[in-house]
Amino acid sequence: MSTNARTSAAAGTPGVLAGLGAELSSEAEPGALPRHQNAPRHAPMGLFAEQLSSTPFLVPRAQNRRSWLYRVRPSTEHADFFPLPHPGVSAWGSHVDPNLLGWKPRPLPMTPTDFIDGLITVAVGGSAADQAGAAIHSFVTNAPMTRKALCSADGESLLIPDEGELSVRTEFGRFVIAPGDVLLLPRGARFSVDPLGQAARRGWWVEAFGAGFELPNRGVVGANGLAEGRHFVAPNAAYEVEAGGWTLVHKYGGSLFAAEATHGPFDVVAWHGNAVPLVYDLARFCPVGAVSFDHPDPSIFTVLTAPTGLPGRNALDLAVFPARWDAARHTFRRPSYHRQAASEWSAILTGPTSNRVHSRGGSSLAPPFTPHGITPDALERELSGKDDEKPRFIAETATWLQLESHFLLSVTDAWRDAPFRDAEFSSMARGAKVRFPLPGSRP
C-alpha cells in the first residue's frame, strides 16, 4: 500500500501512520513484526532483523533516532563501494561571495536523465566529514532510477519538488509527492526517485549534517500553531523482492560511491521505530503574524530546524511563506531593507508570481550581512499607502521556501557559472528615491 502525500490532511485518522519523532510500526504481511523484542534469534517468517541507527547511540533519548527493519535479505549483500565520478555533486563550494546571487529556473532536461544524473550541488556550508553544516542540491529528472537506490551517509535530508509529481520508494514504503510537499529522509535510509508521467520534474534535495531535523520550539507562541507533528505522515510497509543486478549509490563525505548488489534494497516486510521517512504538506502549516504594526522576523514561519547545539545557531532552518492574512498597519507589507547573520537561500515552489525577482523554480542567496530588500517599484507602492489600513490576503497562489543557515554557504562552480544565473539580480534592490532634504537643497 502506498502513501499519497496529497492525503496527508488525513493524519490522525485510523490507518494513517503519523508523527515526527514518534514510535511508529507497520507490517506488509500480518505477523511479520516481532511483538516483544527487536532482534529475536528467529525473526518471524524467516526475515532478517536489521537496525538503522540514524543518530549516535548515546545522544539523549529525545534526539535518538533508530528503526528496526525486517527484510527478506540482509543489506550486506553487495560488493565493495568504489568512487562514482559525478560532474555536478561536490563536497565543497568554491566561491565564498558576499554579493547577492540569483538564478532563473533551471531548464528541464531534453535527454534521458535520472535523479542522480540530474543532481547539481548548489552550495555547501561547513563539512559533511566534520558532521557540522548543510548542503543544498538541485535536481532535474525525466527518467526513472532503474535498479538504482541512493542514500546519504552525510545527513538527514529533505526532498522538495517544485515541478511535477514524483514517485519515491524507500525501505519503509512508497510515497507520491508533488510541489508543496516536503519529504524527510532519515540519514542512511535508501530511496529511489522516479518522475510520474512523461514530463520532466525538478526540485531541491537538502542535507543537514550532524543533528537531524526537528520541530522548532514555539516559545511565546504557546502550545499551538506553526507545524504539528501529527501532520508528518509515514508510509505503510510495502516490500519488493527484486533479484538481479542493482546499483547502490552512497553519498559519503560529500562524494558519491557505488556498489553492485545482488538484489533490490526495498525488501523490508515490516518495520518499527522513529527514524522513519515522513512527508509534510506545507499547506498544513499554521502561520502566525503581526496584527498591529511592524513586519515580523521570518523565524515565525519556521517549519523544521536542524540544531547545532548552539542556541539559535542552526545548521538549517526551513521556513515557508504560505497563503495568509496580513493585518499590520503603518509598516511594510514586504520585508524592508535588512542585513542578517544567517546565510539566506530562497526559492518559489508553487504558483505564479508577478515578482520579477523570482519565478517558480528560481532561487537566490543572500550572504550574511549583505544588504537586501525590496525593489524601487515595490518601495513606491508600499509608500503610496493605498492599502495601509486594510487587511490583505497575500501569497494566495505562490508558496515561498527559505533556508537559513548559521554556516557560510559557499556556492559551487557548477551552480555559480550556470547559464541560467541571473546577472541582474544583485542590482534589483538599488535605485531607491532619496526623500531626505540633502544639505544645499533645503530652503
Residues noted as catalytic = 295
Dihedral sign of CA atoms 119, 143, 69, 205 in order = positive
Helix (H) or strand (E) holding 48: strand 48-53
Radius of gyration of the chain from its Cα atoms, rounded to whole angstroms: 23
- The Cα–Cα gap between 259 and 83 comes to 9
Residues contacting residue 275 through CB under 8 Å, at least 6 positions apart: 52, 53, 54, 55, 65, 66, 67, 186, 187, 189
Residue 332: CB atoms within 10 A of its CB come to 16
Quick one: DSSP state of residue 217? P
SS3 label, residue 220: helix
- The Cα–Cα gap between 331 and 317 comes to 26
List the grid coordinates of 278: 515522513
Residue with cell 535508501: 190
List the grid coordinates of 109: 532536461
Transcribe 234-271 into DSSP letters. PPPP-----EEEEEEEEEETTEEEEEEEEE-S--EEEE
**Three-state secondary structure of 301-357:** HEEEEECCCECCECCEEEEEECCEEECCECCCCCCCCECCCCEEEEEEEECCCCCCC
- The Cα–Cα gap between 263 and 48 comes to 15
Residue with cell 500553531: 225
Residues contacting residue 309 through CB under 8 Å, at least 6 positions apart: 211
Residue with cell 532519515: 186
SS3 label, residue 123: strand
- The Cα–Cα gap between 362 and 365 comes to 11
Single-letter amino acid, residue 45: M
Residue 402: CB atoms within 10 A of its CB come to 20
Query: Exposed, middle or buried: residue 109 (CB in 10 Å: 0-12, 13-18, 19+)?
Result: middle
Nearest one of 86, 100, 7, 144 to 346, comparing CA atoms: 100
